[in-house]
Structure formats: C-alpha cells, structure tokens
Amino acid sequence: MEAKNKGKIIIFLSTGVLTLGIISSNIKIGYGYTKNHKDFRNENLSDTTITEIIYNTTQEVNKGPMKSSGKVAYITIDDGPSKYTDRIIEILDKYNAKGTFFMIDRNMKSYPEQVKNIVESGNTAGFHSVSHDIHKLYKKNISAKEEFDINRKTFYDITGQESSLVRLPYGSKPYTPSESYKALVDANYKVWDWNVDTEDWKSDSNKILENVKMYSKNEDDIVVLIHEKKQTVESLDKVLKYLSEQGYELLPISQSQDPKNFWIGNLYK
C-alpha cells in the first residue's frame, strides 16, 4: 500500500515538472507535420513560440475589419442619428453585420445616446457636414473642411473618440470644387461615396430592395447608400437577407482603409 502511494507521488511530481516545462516561453510549439502524418500545416510554424503567436494574432486584430475574401458590402447610413438609429443597429446585429453612419452635426447633438450606441455596438462613425447645403459647403475652399472639423469636435465631446471618415452631401462629384476636395485630403479626411444607391429617399420599401438587386448585380465590392428613414428601416431586413444570401460579407468601413470615391475613380458599377 505504501509502495503504491509512493508511486502516485512520483507520477504527480513528474506531471508537474512536465507541465512547467510546457508553460515555459522557451518551449516551441510544434504545429509542423511529420512524414508519417497527413497534416498540411506550414512547417515554419514549428518554430513559433507562444509569445510570437499571441503577438501575431494581436497584429491581425489591429488591422481592422478589412475585406478578407470573396464579396463585401459596406452598408453606409446617412443623415443620422435619428429615432431610427437604434432599430437600424438591431437589424444589422441580426445579420452579424456592422454599418458606417455618416452623421449630421445637429443630429449628433439631438441624439447623443444614439451616437454612443453606434460606437459601443461596434459600428463605424463618420460625418456628413453641418449645413448639408452645397452653397455653404463650397462658399470658400476650406468651408467643407471647417464643417467637418465641427463634426469631429461634436463627436469627440460626446464619445471621447475621433473619426476621419466623411461623406459630402450629394456626393463628392459633380458639386465639390477641386480646391475643396484637396483641402479635405490635406487635412487627412477620407472621403467616401457609393456605387449602390438605394434611392430610399424617394422609394418605398419594395422599390429599395429592387434597387439593391439591380445596382449590385455582378459586383463583388459594393458601398450601399441608405438614409435614416422609415421606409429604409422597413426594407433593411430584406436587403441584408438578400445580400447575405448572395455571399456578401457585411462589413463596416475601417478608419485605416483607403477611401473609395468619385475623385479617385475606384468605385465600379
């Protein structure tokens, strides 16, 4: 009986030593394959330490929600926040999707809790001017830039965060003078347009879905324009369901992403 107990103690101590050896950061993790085993992982990983794996994983996460593979749709929402913002976020969540909200200054001040919800729910925030008036936006070469500076301050006052993403009212062409566009770029703002216009401002919920189907046909990379309107909320579930069924990954725009706009000419139809 005593011999059995001694044997158990020896096994226990041996197990403890082995465990400590595995935990040591100097031990390599062997993910490589042997010739006797059908494992197609990269042989180079056999020299990877625990610390390196953690670091590399962190770097991948920090790259942000960029396009990974296949088809991607960016759902962009203009003119908010509003009484519809929270509902839009709920519908996005239903499809494990995130959107990009381009917000007007007075609406951020009127709906600060919705601004916070956009950020806290993992969606992306951007700006859509103060005036929403092309005559005021382009009165001077720096007028648009000055309006987005105001947006940025309002957003920071509400959330403590910043954003460089902007969408010009009515798009960056044909109304935006080249000097105004250059002033925005020089100030490190990233101007985003769209290539799928739902025309939701004048359409009912059925027509909105038809427009998405028509304008997204044969496109693998789309930026969808919607607004915070009643009919848009009514159609959004069907729109996201359709895009998901077509194989689109529904992603928010990342702050680190290169912009897509009419000036650069990298939006395709």
What is the spatial distance between Cα 97 and Cα 11, in angstroms, rounded to a whole number? Answer: 51
Parse the chain into domains and list their residue ranges.
2-62, 71-251
Q: Which helix (H) or strand (E) holds 225?
A: strand 221-227
* DSSP-derived secondary structure for 178-206: HHHHHHHHHTT-EE---SEE--TTT--HH
Q: What tens-digit pLDDT sequence spans the chain (269 residues)?
A: 444 444 444 444 444 444 444 334 443 333 232 233 333 223 333 344 443 433 444 344 334 444 444 899 999 999 999 999 999 999 999 999 999 999 999 999 999 999 999 999 999 999 999 999 999 999 999 999 999 999 999 999 999 999 999 999 999 999 999 999 999 999 999 999 999 999 999 999 999 999 999 999 999 999 999 999 999 999 999 999 999 999 999 999 999 999 999 999 999 76
CB of 262 within 8 A of CB of 193? Answer: yes
Which tokens hold the place of 9? 């103690």
- pLDDT value of position 28: 34
Residue bearing tokens 């595995």: 22
- pLDDT value of position 70: 87
CB of 228 within 8 A of CB of 88? Answer: yes
CB of 70 within 8 A of CB of 244? Answer: no
Q: Which CATH architecture has domain 71-251?
A: Alpha-Beta Barrel (3.20)
Question: What are the strands, taking DSSP E only, across 56-195?
Answer: 71-80, 100-103, 124-127, 165-166, 190-191
Question: What are the strands, taking DSSP E only, across 53-123?
Answer: 71-80, 100-103
CB of 196 within 8 A of CB of 154? Answer: no
CA atoms within 13 A on the CB side of 261: 24
Please list, in sequence order, all residues whose beta carbon lies within 8 angstroms of the beta carbon of residue 81, skipping any fewer than 6 positions away.
101, 103, 107, 108, 110, 111, 114, 115, 118, 228
pTM, whole model, 2 decimals? 0.75
Question: How many helices (H) and strands (E) would you count in the chain?
Answer: 10, 8
